[in-house]
């Protein structure tokens, strides 16, 4: 773990006792602080006590005496739609509010770094879609390159749960808007912004607040390099804000679908080919069409982001290309789970909204689409421009009939359950088809989370194909 520095002998309140909260408690104890732990959930408090932790009832007025700071888990609102009552109390009392990301950046570097040949680095990835895949892909490329590396944050382990740095190590962090919005310290060496689409708007007070939360990763500490997706206006604005001139290669612009021109540093993918340009000329190219773990334009954007980030570390294009081909993808994100008689079965259970479903639907030419679940506001009407590749839809869950009404002329069948949908799609599929789970809906009508939904899909596919 990373012992928290700067709070030796002082009280630190921790609100939220999930994965990150308990990791924070351990790191505070290791750093000599006195954590005061609390959770609004009785179940979470009971689990913490069962794990051997002592609790402090932060709802009592005297509990805040001599508290140096309050560390908040990411799922707890601190501003919109309204602050948690204990966070509001801390703010009223003038107690600084922070999170584990802020503690990590305060504590990551240590005096023994002076004896290292290569100073460790941090790559931090944020954005609306693709940040998990991009983070995992960067981590994979570094592993193939033989660089010591750890992955943490919104994926894998909590940031304070990783091991202290080795000589030349690169830590890759996935950071959500919940994490970037509140952290009081963020100083990555390389920061990556994939894209922006509406999400968590109630938590951030609207689209502008959501973008502002992401932007803090670049504005607070000032990374040495910034990799910016410029396919939306917010990305173009951010790249413009960070660059000091047209040739400033501290900012690397990336795109999926648009050729980027100019004297600066850019990486873009068009028609299945990734191209790197510097100072007005092309310096490398990679054919992404046969990279099975990264299908579709949205994954090609992820490839561009990971390529750019690892190029800033001096990795050779050929080595990165080799690593792209050995990347198997993340579970539930365009994950190939089986193949039979020329039919591929792809699990994109993470496609819980129309934007991510649209990207999945654009990744394959002939799709038998399994969709449905607990639909979100607005339904799937906005997906109509992306249904041209859908041979037939197989609808499941609470919103199956609502989705059917919005599909227009697209052939469809109401299957209700995953078992029925997989069986019918597999029965009707022909060579060259892709049976794609991209629900465009939440999972909570039939499953506790999108992971369990994807696991059910994968299990039924494997049972069918043997």
Q: Which residues are annotated as a binding site for ATP?
A: 127-133
3-state helix, strand, coil in the chain (%, to 5): 35, 25, 40
In sequence order, the 6+-apart residues with CB closer than 8 A to the CB of 431 are 341, 342, 343
Binding-site positions: 127-133
| Residue 324 · residue 413 · CB < 8 Å | no
Residues β-bridged to residue 372 = 396
Angle in degrees, CA 113, 116, 318, rounded to 5: 120
For 135-198, list the strands marked E by DSSP: 149-153, 170-174, 190-193
| Residue 270 · residue 258 · CB < 8 Å | yes
Tell me the C-alpha distance between 2 and 163, whole Å: 6
Pairing of strands 343-347, 434-437: parallel
Tell me the C-alpha distance between 382 and 384, whole Å: 6
3 state DSSP class of 382 = helix
Of 138, 129, 183, nearest in space to 159 by CA: 183
3 state DSSP class of 204 = helix
Of 177, 251, 252, nearest in space to 217 by CA: 177
């Amino acid at each position: 773990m990373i012992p928290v520095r700067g709070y030796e002998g002082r009280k630190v309140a921790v609100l939220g006792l999930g994965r990150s909260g308990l990791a924070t408690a351990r790191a505070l104890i290791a750093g000599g602080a006195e954590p005061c732990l609390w959770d609004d959930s009785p179940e979470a408090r009971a689990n913490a006590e069962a794990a051997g932790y002592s609790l402090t009832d932060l709802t009592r007025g005297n509990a805040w005496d001599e508290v140096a700071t309050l560390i908040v888990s990411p799922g707890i609102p601190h501003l919109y739609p309204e602050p948690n009552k204990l966070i509001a109390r801390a703010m009223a009392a003038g107690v600084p509010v922070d999170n584990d990301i802020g503690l990590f950046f305060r504590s990551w570097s240590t005096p023994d770094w002076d004896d290292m040949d290569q100073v460790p680095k941090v790559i931090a990835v944020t954005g609306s879609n693709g940040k998990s895949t991009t983070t995992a892909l960067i981590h994979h490329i570094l592993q193939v390159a033989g660089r010591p590396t750890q992955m943490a944050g919104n994926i894998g382990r909590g940031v304070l749960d990783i091991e202290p740095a080795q000589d030349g190590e690169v830590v890759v962090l996935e950071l959500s808007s919940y994490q970037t919005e509140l952290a009081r310290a963020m100083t990555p060496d390389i920061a990556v912004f994939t894209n922006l689409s509406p999400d968590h708007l109630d938590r951030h007070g609207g689209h502008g607040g959501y973008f502002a939360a992401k932007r803090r990763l670049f504005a607070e500490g000032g990374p040495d390099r910034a990799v910016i997706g410029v396919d939306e206006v917010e990305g173009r604005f951010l790249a413009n804000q960070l660059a000091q001139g047209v040739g400033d290669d501290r900012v690397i612009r990336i795109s999926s679908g648009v050729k980027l021109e100019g004297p600066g540093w850019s990486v873009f993918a068009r028609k299945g080919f990734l191209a790197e340009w510097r100072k007005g000329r092309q310096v490398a190219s990679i054919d992404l069409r046969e990279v099975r773990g990264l299908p579709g334009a949205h994954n090609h954007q992820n490839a561009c982001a990971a390529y750019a980030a690892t190029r800033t570390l001096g990795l050779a294009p050929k080595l990165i290309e080799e690593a792209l081909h050995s990347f198997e993808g993340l579970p539930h994100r365009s994950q190939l789970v089986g193949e039979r008689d020329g039919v591929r079965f792809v699990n994109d259970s993470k496609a819980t909204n129309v934007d991510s479903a649209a990207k999945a639907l654009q990744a394959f030419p002939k799709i038998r689409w399994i969709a449905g679940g607990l639909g979100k506001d607005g339904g799937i009407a906005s997906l109509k421009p992306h249904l041209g590749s859908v041979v037939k839809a197989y609808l499941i869950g609470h919103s199956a009939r609502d989705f059917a009404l919005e599909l227009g002329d697209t052939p469809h069948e109401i299957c209700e359950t995953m078992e029925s949908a997989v069986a019918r799609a597999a029965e009707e599929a022909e060579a060259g088809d892709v049976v794609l789970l991209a629900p465009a809906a939440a999972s909570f009508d039939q499953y506790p989370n999108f992971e369990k939904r994807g696991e059910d899909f994968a299990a039924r596919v494997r049972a069918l194909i043997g």
